[in-house]
Amino acid sequence: MTRKVVPAWVVGVILLAATPAQADEGELLAAVRRDVRVHDPSTIVRCEGEYWFFATGHGIASWRSKDLQDWQRGPRVMPKMPSWVQQVVPQQRGHYWAPDVIFRDGKYWLYYSVSSFGKNRSAIALATNVTLDPDSDAFEWIDQGIVLESKSSDDFNAIDPAVIQTGSGELWMSFGSFWSGLKLVQLDTETGKCASDAKLHSIAKAREIEAPFIYQRDGWFYLFVNHGLCCRGLDSTYEILVGRSRSITGPFVDREHSLLSQGGGTLLVGADGDFIGAGHASIVQQDGKSWLGCHVYDGTDRGKSKLALLSLTWSEDGWPLIDSRTNQR
């Protein structure tokens, strides 16, 4: 069997490995769910004993699984386009991007992007449901309208939302793509929307940056971001980087103490052979184990975008690590 030396981020000793470990070619590909063709997967949540996530697509795609391994398609969230959509983005035809979902106060709050490629005339909107089970009599997605929008005169782009409820009960949304970088805004816990005087915090910036995700652990807020370009199949250059801060508003720094607001970030998931362009990170727990969810372009299948679940551990000094040796389940 052909063997190779794997970059430090693959074996979980980011940037600090004295003796790189050995791993089989394509071990990260074992984390790819090859029959789940998706882009921009949301955080994975649970409902009635099943795992669910949502993804970019017409009406917003959904997927369901009982074990995180075998997935089936669920119903579209919004098969009919809300009346306000084309008023904000005239080019829209119901293809929504990069959703995220959170369960709180007895409801599933689904945030999603309304935009067009390469423009920042965009909006992040919200839909809610009391259940994800389409067989339930209570199942109904209710459009709550716009949460935040950006115009061509703004220096940010209102897409790629990711929502977190902190340990203290606050609700925050990170978002952004290119322009002046990634932003953070506090949301009203009753409505799930921005207050009229809500302040935008700048949390990360780079020449090619988008898809933030914030995770709270042991007194730290971890900011996961994408550097590079997506949507190019085999030519995609997405990489997942991470920094952390004691405050959710930053400043976020990487393992080498560089600011994410100045282009910093510790590499967590880069390209590895046919495992290309990992993007839109999130974290899900299952039976005490953590998994990093993302999409990846499969080099063994003409660069099609698919779901990947990567085994996630933590270093002694509190940094996330990807261990390819435990990706196969």
Q: Hey, which residues are catalytic here?
A: 40, 210
Question: Any idea which residue has 């929504």 for tokens?
Answer: 96
- Name the residue among 84, 92, 109, 95 with its Cα closest to residue 61: 95
Give Cα 22 distance to the centre of its chain.
Answer: 29
Is residue 241 within 8 Å of residue 209, measured between CB atoms? Answer: no
Take residue 96 and report the two structure tokens written for it.
């929504």
Residue 29, SS3 per DSSP? helix
Take residue 37 and report the two structure tokens written for it.
């063709």
CA distance readout (Å), 236 to 44, 155, 159, 209: 24, 25, 19, 13
Read off the amino acid at residue 3.
R
Looking at residue 253, the DSSP 8-state letter turns out to be B
